[in-house]
Amino acid sequence: MRLSIWRYELGRLGWPALLGVPLASAAVGLLAILAQVAGNQRQVNEILSNVLDVLPVVAGIGAAGAVRVDSALELQLSLPTPYRATAFRRLALTLAWTALLALAAGSWLEFSGRLIWPVSFAADQLIWLPPLLWLAAAGATVTLGLRAFAIGSGLVAALWVLERSFSDLFAAPGPQTVWLFLRYPYVSPATWYANRGALLLSAAVLFGVAFWLLGRTERLLGSEP
């Protein structure tokens, strides 16, 4: 019965939610192929390594969609299973799928020698995991807090573009704590691990806020369809 529930929620997410990750990965791969044709091997490795930065924003947008209130909300609120359990089940499926592909991509980059900022196999997973969880938590919390998927997903995308575009600004000593894409070779190990820990801790707090918001029935009923 429990497995059937998970299969049902996977179907509710739909193919668009599942195709976002492989499509984003394929787009990065296409750019790498074009760089390979140009004969720039260093650029190829940089492009392929950047897939670990692209997947977190896909997860953030997917998380915003996973907690988006659907048209059957009134019916779901009448069921014995709390709606927050249903929403978090969808959120877990979205994140698990994205994390699985990110792990596969990171492992391949590590063992093929293409990762341009390697640390160790275990530590390399911290390149993508904290940003993925943070953007997912932010996307879900903003969507629920403002009751608008468009704002939640748009804010995640805007924040990703901001941090990618102004990396020099976020590399300054102060903002390093909140920089999603801080790189180990450019800072001390202590700073890098502190940054990763701060992102994971703040992501946990944001998920807690999202969990609380999902229990506010009156807010859910006033959300966009």
- pLDDT, tens digit (0-9, with 9 covering 90-100), for 58-113: 999 988 888 876 655 555 555 556 677 778 888 888 898 899 999 999 899 888 88
Q: Using alpha carbons, list the distances in angstroms from residue 62 to 144, 151, 207, 225.
A: 14, 13, 14, 16
Q: What is the per-residue pLDDT for 74? A: 52
Average pLDDT, the chain: 80
More confident residue, 208 or 27: 208
Where residue 183 falls (left for φ over 0; alpha for ψ -120 to 50; beta otherwise) is beta
Contact between 66 and 94 under an 8 Å Cβ cutoff? The reply is yes
Average pLDDT over residues 3-24: 66
Q: What is the per-residue pLDDT for 129? A: 94
Q: What is the per-residue pLDDT for 37? A: 77
